[in-house]
């Protein structure tokens, strides 16, 4: 075991699964790069270098650069998944989903149901999401709530290098279409990641901190912030449980219910736009199913209802932060009813 970056973890998962199963292919814009160009082949490995080296290892027949034509190649990935391959398609930034969403939500997601169960669509769509990169409104969105909304899709959001490798291998071996969200600010984060392949199950939450006072649920990069907040709060004598659900669809609501029943207090941290997002989804499910256990209002830590601004001065205050999570936890500790 060695320290690996999130980028390396993703790359390793792809490489190991491609080695294991010849049906796994990778496709997307510049996933290798340099095609038709006079210089270096495999020049890019995606804009942030995540798939670099795969083409040299597996050749251009299994690492396919595409024209800029997301409906075309995401649809082709769906069609290929329906007919014997296990494609991992690269949607680069999830913000681009608007040019190809139909192939995802009306085609890949619905094949199995529309066709009466006969299809399987082992498709993975990897995509970058999230703010902090100063990439402005069209390259900073989260949008996983849109995919979570759609029956037939699975949605994974790894929060660390270890999670990324295990969840991506699971995604590739999974027989349903999976949208795999990689936060672009996590790529350089490092932690211990086993060298051998392993899977992390979908729909099983991970508890990254345990404490009796408040339950915090967070996704992707927000898990890091929630852990930091929990550490800081521990200093104030507030003990937090931090839940990383790993996947929003399926969602391990049972674990969240259980923890909320124990703490009676819930804060949900979601980097996505605030309306109809995962914070509302979890709050609502808990308010419906663990109402009696709640000792204080559920708090949602989310950005305001605005596009993601470009200027660092604005983006920094736009995003959920450790401070905002700490405040929310303090607020749920302050208010509310006694233990039942």
Ligand X SMILES: Cc1ncc(C[n+]2csc(CCOP(=O)(O)OP(=O)(O)O)c2C)c(N)n1
Catalytic (active-site) positions: 139
In the complex, the smallest distance separating the C-beta of residue 284 from other proteins, rounded to whole angstroms, is: 20
96 binds ligand X (CB under 6 A): yes
104 binds a copy of itself (CB under 8 A): yes
Residue 99: DSSP 8-state: G
Site for ligand X in 182-221 (CB under 6 A): none
Q: Is it true that the peptide bond before 250 is cis, omega within 30 degrees of 0? A: yes
Site pattern 244..283 for other proteins (x: CB under 8 A) = ------x---------------------------------
Measured from the CB atom, the residue of 116 and 235 that comes closer to a copy of itself is 116
Q: Which of 265, 277, 273, 276 is nearest to 328 (CA)?
A: 265
**Residue 85 interface partner, choices a copy of itself, ligand X, other proteins, none, CB cut-off 5-8 Å depending on type:** other proteins
Please identify, among the stretches 92-100, 127-135, 163-171, 292-300, the one whose residues bind ligand X according to the rule CB under 6 A: 92-100
**Residue 323 interface partner, choices other proteins, a copy of itself, ligand X, none, CB cut-off 5-8 Å depending on type:** none
* Phi, psi at 183, each rounded to 5°: -75, 125
Please identify, among the stretches 213-221, 265-273, 314-322, 330-338, the one whose residues bind other proteins according to the rule CB under 8 A: 314-322
* Phi, psi at 325, each rounded to 5°: -70, -45
Site for other proteins in 208-227 (CB under 8 A): none
Q: Give per-residue burial for 41-67: e unless 16+ CB within 10 Å, then b.
A: ebebbbebebbbebbeebeeebbbbbe
Measured from the CB atom, the residue of 133 and 198 that comes closer to other proteins is 133
In the complex, the smallest distance separating the C-beta of residue 36 from a copy of itself, rounded to whole angstroms, is: 27
In the complex, the smallest distance separating the C-beta of residue 141 from a copy of itself, rounded to whole angstroms, is: 9
Strands 124-129 and 86-93: parallel
- Alpha helices by DSSP H, listed for 240-277, are 253-263
| CB half-sphere exposure, 285, CA atoms < 13 A | 18
114 binds ligand X (CB under 6 A): no
Query: Among 12, 30, 90, 244, which residue sits at the site for other proteins (rule: CB under 8 A)?
Result: 30
Please identify, among the stretches 72-80, 91-99, 107-115, 229-237, the one whose residues bind ligand X according to the rule CB under 6 A: 91-99
**63 SS3 class:** strand
In the complex, the smallest distance separating the C-beta of residue 43 from a copy of itself, rounded to whole angstroms, is: 27
Dist CA 141 CA 130 (whole Å):
5
Measured from the CB atom, the residue of 117 and 237 that comes closer to a copy of itself is 117
In the complex, the smallest distance separating the C-beta of residue 39 from other proteins, rounded to whole angstroms, is: 4
Measured from the CB atom, the residue of 25 and 81 that comes closer to a copy of itself is 81
Measured from the CB atom, the residue of 162 and 202 that comes closer to other proteins is 202
Site pattern 86..105 for other proteins (x: CB under 8 A) = -x-------xx-xx--xx--
Distances (CA, A) of 73 to 29, 89, 151: 9, 8, 22
| CB half-sphere exposure, 16, CA atoms < 13 A | 19
**Residue 287 interface partner, choices a copy of itself, other proteins, ligand X, none, CB cut-off 5-8 Å depending on type:** a copy of itself
44 binds ligand X (CB under 6 A): no
Measured from the CB atom, the residue of 27 and 92 that comes closer to ligand X is 92
- Alpha helices by DSSP H, listed for 83-129, are 101-102, 111-114
Which H or E element spans position 223?
A: helix 221-234
Q: CB-based contacts of 197: which residues, under 8 Å, 6+ apart?
A: 13, 16, 17, 20, 169
Task: Please report how the helices 322-334 and 221-234 are oriented relative to each other, as an axis angle in degrees rounded to 10.
Answer: 50
In DSSP notation, 178-198 reads EEEEEETTSTT-EEEE-SS--
180 binds ligand X (CB under 6 A): no
């Amino acid at each position: 075991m060695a320290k690996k970056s999130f980028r390396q973890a993703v790359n390793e998962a792809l490489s190991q699964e491609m080695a294991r199963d010849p049906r796994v292919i990778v496709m997307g814009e510049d996933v290798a790069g340099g095609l038709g160009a006079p210089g270096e082949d495999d020049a890019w490995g995606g804009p942030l270098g995540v798939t670099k080296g795969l083409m040299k290892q597996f050749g251009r027949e299994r690492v396919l650069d595409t024209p800029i034509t997301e409906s075309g190649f995401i649809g082709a990935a769906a069609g290929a998944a329906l007919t014997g391959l296990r494609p991992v398609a690269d949607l680069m930034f999830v913000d681009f989903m608007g040019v190809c969403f139909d192939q995802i939500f009306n085609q890949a997601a619905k094949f199995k149901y529309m066709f009466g169960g006969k299809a399987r669509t082992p498709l993975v769509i990897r995509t970058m999401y999230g703010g902090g990169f100063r990439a402005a409104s069209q390259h900073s969105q989260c949008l996983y709530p849109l995919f979570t909304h759609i029956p037939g899709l699975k949605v994974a959001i790894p929060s660390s290098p270890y999670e990324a490798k295990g969840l991506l291998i699971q995604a590739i071996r999974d027989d349903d279409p999976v949208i795999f969200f990689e936060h672009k600010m996590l790529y350089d984060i490092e932690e211990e990641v086993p060298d051998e392949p392993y899977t992390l199950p979908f729909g099983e939450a991970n508890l990254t901190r345990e404490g009796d006072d408040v339950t915090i649920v967070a996704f992707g990069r927000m898990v890091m912030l929630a852990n930091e907040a929990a550490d800081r709060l521990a200093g104030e004598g507030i003990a937090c449980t931090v839940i990383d659900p790993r996947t929003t669809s399926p969602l391990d609501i049972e674990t969240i219910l259980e923890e909320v029943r124990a703490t009676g207090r819930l804060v949900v941290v979601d980097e996505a736009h605030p309306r109809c997002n995962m914070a509302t989804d979890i709050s609502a499910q808990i308010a419906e199913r663990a109402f009696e256990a709640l000792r204080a209002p559920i708090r949602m830590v989310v950005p305001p209802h605005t596009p993601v601004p470009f200027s660092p001065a604005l983006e920094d205050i736009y995003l959920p932060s450790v401070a905002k999570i700490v405040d929310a936890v303090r607020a749920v500790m302050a208010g509310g009813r006694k233990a039942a």
